[in-house]
Amino acid sequence: MKSLSFRWQLTLFILMICGVTLSLAMVGLYLYERRQGDSEIQSRLEKTQLLMVGNLAPLLEQNPEATDLQLGALGVDSQIAAAAVFVPGKSRALAQYVRFGAHEVIPPPPANLAKSTFDPRRLIAWTPITSGTNRTLGLLYLKAEESESDKQRTTDLLKLALIIFSSAAFLAISVAFRLGGRFTAPITELAQVASSVQRTHDYGKRVESAASGEIGELIESFNAMLETIETKTSELEQARETAEGAKDQLEEANRTLEARVEDRTKLLAKAVKDAEEASKAKSSFLAKMSHELRTPLNAIIGYSEILREDAVDDGDARTADDLDKVLNAARHLLGLINDVLDISKIEAGKMDLYLETFDVAKTVGEVIATASPLISKKGNTLALDCPADTGAMHADVTKLRQMLLNLLSNASKFTEKGTITLKVHRLPDGESIEFAVVDTGIGMTPEQLTRLFQAFSQADASTTSKYGGTGLGLAISKQFAQMMLGDITVTSTSGVGSTFTIRLPVTVETKKPKVVNTSTQRLTRSPFPVEKRPKILVIDDDKDIRVLITEILDQSGYEVFTAGSGQQGLDLAAQMVPNLIILDLMMPGMDGWTVLTKLQHKPSLADVPVIILSGASGLEMAMSLGAAAVLFKPVDAYQLTAEIATQLAPLPPSYVLLVEDDADSRTLITRLLDTEGWNSRSAINGNAALRILKQASPAMIILDLKMAGMNGFELLEVIVKNPAWSKIPVIIVTSMDLTADMRDYLTPRTVGILYKGRFSREDLLGAIRPVVQNATLSST
Amino acid sequence: MPKILLVEDNEMNRDMLTRRLEKRGYTISIAVDGGEGVAKAKAELPDLILMDMSLPVLDGWDATRQVKADDTTKGIPVIALTAHAMEGDRQKALGAGCDDFDTKPVELNRLLLKIEELLKKFPPKPAA
């Protein structure tokens, strides 16, 4: 039934009701007709009985035995099938009649003849024949028969019923089809539309038919529902299209960005490569030139010496004196050439160590012997403090000699009629030995100290003309010391004197360790409690470095994660979002610069500070790409843990922000602030400074102008445009020669400009103090 | 007077050293390459050899090795002279059998001290 359409269901229903109703009517009519027929036959039988009893009674009264009774003539008509007369005492009929053509068997008479009975089913009637004195004369048997007209009537009735039934059925179907359509059509359409909507998801369709009553309401509701769905769907589609469009735009932007990053990275990588090649070419050129310069210089020095000897022999003092000047100039030139050769070898990475074991006191004695003419030249005296039992050390003796000579020669240059002291002693740890050269010379300002160890830069341009030298000596010595995993440090007071200290390991290892200063006592611990260990991600292709750094950081209170490649590092960083990242630059596959760039472009990772660990090259680029700090390899564990702690430590409530790319200047100014009891935080350029500024506003900013990455001008522009920062006082500390335009720009935006090399410690503090005290900066 | 064999290919260096050493009383014999140096060492049996390291034909290291390998010349002290003040050269020279080492340009007083020291260590045979 379910598979039939509603219209057919309705038609069948109407048909069924018609059929049942008509059938009931027919049955009723038929029964009525039958009863009618029966009563007619009965009344006919009764009439015949009366007639025949009336006729028979006198005959039987006269002659009870009359056997010649002609029943056919005694009132039997065509509707009587059979008749018989029984008399008491006899079981056989006295007379009987059977209509011609009928086969009737006369049944035996009942026992009681006096009783009249009628069997309507068989149309049989028994009637007693009585005399005038109520004596029973006999019994009459009559059996009626349906007449032809009776039969005809029944047939007609059936025919009529059939006709009526058919017409009614036809009418019902017609009505169901014609009129039923009015009801079913809307429902059918509703069903069709619903099914079509379900199939095609075309919510624009509507049920067109109108209907009244509940179906009308149903259609209206259905249409309204479709309307709502259509609206929502189109809104959804629109939103999806908008989102799709936005997604496309985003993807496009991403592609553009990635392409740009890739281009930039390629350019940068090429720039680095070019720079490295240029640097190598320069070093090789310098080495070759130095050699070419020395050959003629050898001849000049040699022949001048011969001539001088001859002049002395001849007693020609004036010529000998002149030749001395030539020789001094030539030797000076040779010294310069040797320095250039050394520095170019160091820069080209071709300077090697030749380690041997030697007696310290004996070597120091030889150096003193060589240096003493220099020292006594300006009326200085030499004090030697080198215990004879200092013992032996294992290092590059030639380089140690050169370093000591350089320091003694410098001390002699800048000291007049003073004392130069060489102190040698082993440190209590037994692992290091220190050579300190102390003078009572002119000393240096803090600013001069910061540039002291840089190649090609003497404390002051005027120094070269006054004191001579290339200014390479200290840079070379520092490099030598660092090659032997030691260092040279300096302390100096202007006008009082300077102390240069060479610290070297007693036993210099040939194989350079990858991580130095790993002694746990001096590691800086995490600024957070043990239960809140900051997460640090180390990205370096060198497994040894990963293992060593993990160990050190684990001991220092950090949770360490490592990645052996750039891509792995990026994936891990995105997954765990570390508090800080330590990143190697030179890695196969994706290099550190690319990783840094990608980190900076991920919103979730852009603010995570990145400390770069690197060999020598490409640092400026890393800084300009947004590194928070840059450390050199071999990794100095003290330095690394100190830097991590600084980067992660919460900012003090009030602090000075120092933005300066030169490490020595940073250290110097930070110490200066520290001695005054002021908190400070350093940033290597504008990018790193912004990361700190976003955390908390400083009481003031000390800003260098020339920096890799975001420079001082760019940072200043950002600061003055941000209402949250525009009130922060800024002091410029620069070595740039400012143009009038620059000064005009800086003056209204800063509280002061100090020029590197021209300001003293007091100048700096004097400029900072009022500002900082206004901000009630306190150190705790 | 002690006889010194100077093996040096650069004419000016050769001339300067010869003149300055002769002035101080040494007898100087000259060789201009490693091969000649080894031959003259054998033929003349000098009291000391000053050997430049960057020599044509046979370099100073190989020449020194040959001198030190030969029974007749192995007792002759050799001072290596190198143009580059390279510590590597020093070790290489000592490894080749040189008894001492000095760099060019020669600082004459320092060189004279080294010569005298070696001549004391290896006293010259009485002149035949």
Cβ within 8 Å, pair B105-A398: no
3-state secondary structure A410-469: HHHHCCCCCEEEEEEEECCCCCEEEEEEEECCCCCCHHHHHCCCCCCCCCCHHHHHHHCC
From B103's Cα to the closest Cα of chain A, the distance in A is: 11
Asked whether residue A219 carries a pLDDT value surpassing 70, the answer given is: yes
Look at residue B125 in the predicted model and tell me its pLDDT. Answer: 64
Report how far residue A196's alpha carbon sits from residue A218's, in angstroms, rounded to the nearest whole number. Answer: 17
Cβ within 8 Å, pair B108-A396: no
Task: Check residues A293 and A357 and name the one with the higher pLDDT.
Answer: A357
Q: Does A312 touch chain B (CB under 8 A)?
A: no
Cβ within 8 Å, pair A352-B108: no
Report how far residue A382's alpha carbon sits from residue A365's, in angstroms, rounded to the nearest whole number. Answer: 12
Look at residue A319 in the predicted model and tell me its pLDDT. Answer: 92
Give the A window 323-342 contacts with B, CB below 8 Å. Answer: 334, 338
Q: Does A351 touch chain B (CB under 8 A)?
A: no
Cβ within 8 Å, pair B12-A291: no
Q: Read off the pLDDT of residues A675-699 as tens digits, 9 standing for 90 and up.
A: 888 888 889 888 889 888 888 889 8
Structure tokens of A352? Answer: 């090697």
Cβ neighbours of A434 (radius 10 Å):
15
Phi-psi region at A233: left, alpha or beta (left = phi > 0; alpha = psi -120 to 50): alpha
Asked whether residue A492 carries a pLDDT value surpassing 50, the answer given is: yes
Q: Read off the pLDDT of residues A359-394 as tens digits, 9 standing for 90 and up.
A: 999 889 888 888 888 888 888 998 999 888 888 899
Pairing of strands A680-683, A356-359: unpaired
Can you tell me the mean pLDDT for A520-544? 86
From B88's Cα to the closest Cα of chain A, the distance in A is: 7
Asked whether residue A659 carries a pLDDT value surpassing 80, the answer given is: yes
CATH number of the domain encompassing residue B36 = 3.40.50.2300
| DSSP letter string, A103-143 | ---PPPPPS-TT--EEETTTTEEEEEEE-TTS-EEEEEEEE
A617 band by pLDDT with thresholds 50, 70 and 90: low
Asked if residue B126 is part of any domain, the answer here is no
Asked if residue B12 is part of any domain, the answer here is yes
Q: If you average pLDDT over each of A30-44, A63-77, A529-543, which comes out highest?
A: A529-543
Per cent of chain A over pLDDT 90 is 12
CA angle A223, A225, A226 (to 5 degrees): 65
Task: Work out the end-to-end distance of chain B between its first and last CA atoms, rounded to an integer number of angstroms.
Answer: 12
Q: Is B6 helix (H, G, I), strand (E, B) or coil?
A: strand
Asked if residue B128 is part of any domain, the answer here is no
Asked whether residue B112 carries a pLDDT value surpassing 50, the answer given is: yes
Least confident of A54-63, A242-251, B107-116: A54-63
Residues of A in contact with B88 (CB under 8 A): 352, 354
A311 band by pLDDT with thresholds 50, 70 and 90: very high
Q: Read off the pLDDT of residues A563-607 as tens digits, 9 standing for 90 and up.
A: 999 999 999 999 999 999 999 888 888 888 889 888 988 888 888
Of A299, A306, A398, the CB nearest to B19: A306
Residues of A in contact with B16 (CB under 8 A): 299, 302-303, 305-306
Q: Read off the pLDDT of residues B70-97 as tens digits, 9 standing for 90 and up.
A: 999 988 999 998 865 555 667 777 778 8
The label of the residue with tokens 């990635």 reads: A258
Give yes or no for a contact between A573 and A545, defined as CB atoms under 8 angstroms apart: no
Mean residue pLDDT of chain A comes to 82
Asked whether residue A779 carries a pLDDT value surpassing 60, the answer given is: no
- Which CATH architecture group holds A355-509? 2-Layer Sandwich (3.30)
Least confident of A13-17, A302-306, A499-503, A565-569: A13-17
Per cent of chain A over pLDDT 70 is 90
Task: Check residues B102 and A65 and name the one with the higher pLDDT.
Answer: B102
Evaluate whether the domain defined by A513-642 bears CATH number 2.60.120.560: no
Q: Read off the pLDDT of residues A222-271 as tens digits, 9 standing for 90 and up.
A: 888 888 888 888 888 888 888 888 888 888 888 888 788 778 778 877 88
Look at residue A780 in the predicted model and tell me its pLDDT. Answer: 37
Give yes or no for a contact between A436 and A409, defined as CB atoms under 8 angstroms apart: no
- Which CATH architecture group holds A650-780? 3-Layer(aba) Sandwich (3.40)
Asked whether residue A777 carries a pLDDT value surpassing 50, the answer given is: no
Cβ neighbours of A707 (radius 10 Å):
26
Can you tell me the mean pLDDT for A389-417? 89
Domain span at residue B17 reads 3-121
Cβ within 8 Å, pair A352-B87: yes
Asked whether residue A465 carries a pLDDT value surpassing 70, the answer given is: no
Look at residue B42 in the predicted model and tell me its pLDDT. Answer: 93
Cβ within 8 Å, pair A306-B16: yes
Task: Check residues A299 and B22 and name the one with the higher pLDDT.
Answer: B22
Of A295, A299, A352, the CB nearest to B88: A352
A180 band by pLDDT with thresholds 50, 70 and 90: low
Cβ within 8 Å, pair A309-B20: yes
Could you tell me where the beta strands, DSSP code E, fall in A136-248? 136-144
Give yes or no for a contact between A637 and A516, defined as CB atoms under 8 angstroms apart: yes
Residues of B in contact with A309 (CB under 8 A): 20, 23
A459 band by pLDDT with thresholds 50, 70 and 90: very low
A526 band by pLDDT with thresholds 50, 70 and 90: confident
Residues of B in contact with A338 (CB under 8 A): 85
How many CB pairs below 8 Å do chains A and B form together? 44
A349 band by pLDDT with thresholds 50, 70 and 90: low
Can you tell me the mean pLDDT for A119-135? 76
Q: Read off the pLDDT of residues A95-115 as tens digits, 9 standing for 90 and up.
A: 777 777 777 777 777 777 667
The label of the residue with tokens 């490649």 reads: A565
Asked whether residue B37 carries a pLDDT value surpassing 70, the answer given is: yes
Cβ within 8 Å, pair B105-A354: no
Residue A189: how many CA atoms within 13 Å on its side-chain side? 19
Asked whether residue A324 carries a pLDDT value surpassing 50, the answer given is: yes
Asked if residue B127 is part of any domain, the answer here is no
Can you tell me the mean pLDDT for A288-317? 84
Q: Does A302 touch chain B (CB under 8 A)?
A: yes
Structure tokens of A692? Answer: 């700190």
Cβ neighbours of A352 (radius 10 Å):
13
> A688: which residues sit within 8 A by CB, 6+ positions away?
A609, A626, A627, A628, A629, A659, A709
Domain count, chain B: 1
Can you tell me the mean pLDDT for A267-290? 75
Helix axes B60-69, B34-44, angle to 10 degrees: 30
Q: Is B23 helix (H, G, I), strand (E, B) or coil?
A: helix
